[in-house]
Amino acid sequence: MSTTWDPAAYLTFDDHRARPFHDLLARVTARSPRRVVDLGCGPGNLTTLLTARWPAADVEALDSSAEMVEAARVRGIDARRADVIGWTPLPDTDVVISNAVLQWVPQHRELLPRWIAALGPGAELAVQVPGNFGAPSHVLVRELAAQRSLQLRGEGAVAEPAEYAALLAATGAEVDVWETTYLHRLTGPDPVLKWIGSTALRPVRDALDERGYAEFRAELAPRLRTAYPAQPDGTTWFPFRRIFAVARVR
Ligand SMILES: C[S@@+](CC[C@H](N)C(=O)[O-])C[C@H]1O[C@@H](n2cnc3c(N)ncnc32)[C@H](O)[C@@H]1O
Question: Which tens digits make up the pLDDT trace of 145-162?
Answer: 999 999 998 899 999 999
Q: Which helix (H) or strand (E) holds 171?
A: none
* Gap from CA of 63 to ligand 1 centroid (Å): 6
Q: In angstroms, what CA-CA distances link 11 with 47, 49, 157, 162, 224?
A: 13, 15, 23, 31, 21
**Is 68 near ligand 1, meaning CB less than 6 Å away?**
yes
For the chain, give the mean pLDDT. 96
**Is 198 near ligand 1, meaning CB less than 6 Å away?**
no
pLDDT in the model for residue 1: 42
**For 26, phi and psi rounded to 5 degrees?**
-65, -20
Listed as own residue / partner, the contacts of 221-226 with beta carbons closer than 8 Å and 24 or more positions apart are 221/190, 221/193, 223/136, 223/140, 223/144, 224/136, 224/137, 224/140, 224/190, 224/192, 224/193, 225/190
Q: Which helix (H) or strand (E) holds 221?
A: helix 210-227
**Is 100 near ligand 1, meaning CB less than 6 Å away?**
yes
Calculate the CA dihedral of residues 140, 133, 206, 15 and round it to 10 degrees. 100
Mean pLDDT value of segment 126-141: 97
Per-residue DSSP letter, 55:
T
Tens of pLDDT along 171-184? 999 999 999 999 99
**Is 5 near ligand 1, meaning CB less than 6 Å away?**
yes
Q: In angstroms, what CA-CA distances link 202 with 90, 168, 236, 245?
A: 32, 30, 22, 26
Res 2 pLDDT > 70:
no
Least confident of 5-19, 62-76, 212-226: 5-19
pLDDT in the model for residue 6: 87
The alpha carbon of 217 is separated from its chain's Cα centroid by a whole number of angstroms, namely 23
- To test the pocket of ligand 1, the residue of 101, 109, 128 to mutate (highest count of ligand atoms within 8 Å of its CB) is 101
Tens of pLDDT along 187-219? 999 999 999 999 999 999 999 999 999 999 999
Asked if residue 24 lies in contact with residue 244, where contact means CB atoms within 8 angstroms, the answer is yes
**Is 87 near ligand 1, meaning CB less than 6 Å away?**
no
The β-bridge partners of 81 are: 63
pTM: 0.95
| Count of H-run helices and E-run strands, the chain | 10, 7
66 falls in which pLDDT band (50, 70, 90)? very high
**Is 83 near ligand 1, meaning CB less than 6 Å away?**
yes
> For the purposes of burial, counting CB atoms within 10 Å of the CB of 22, is it exposed (0-12), middle (13-18) or buried (19 or more)?
exposed
% pLDDT > 70, the chain: 99
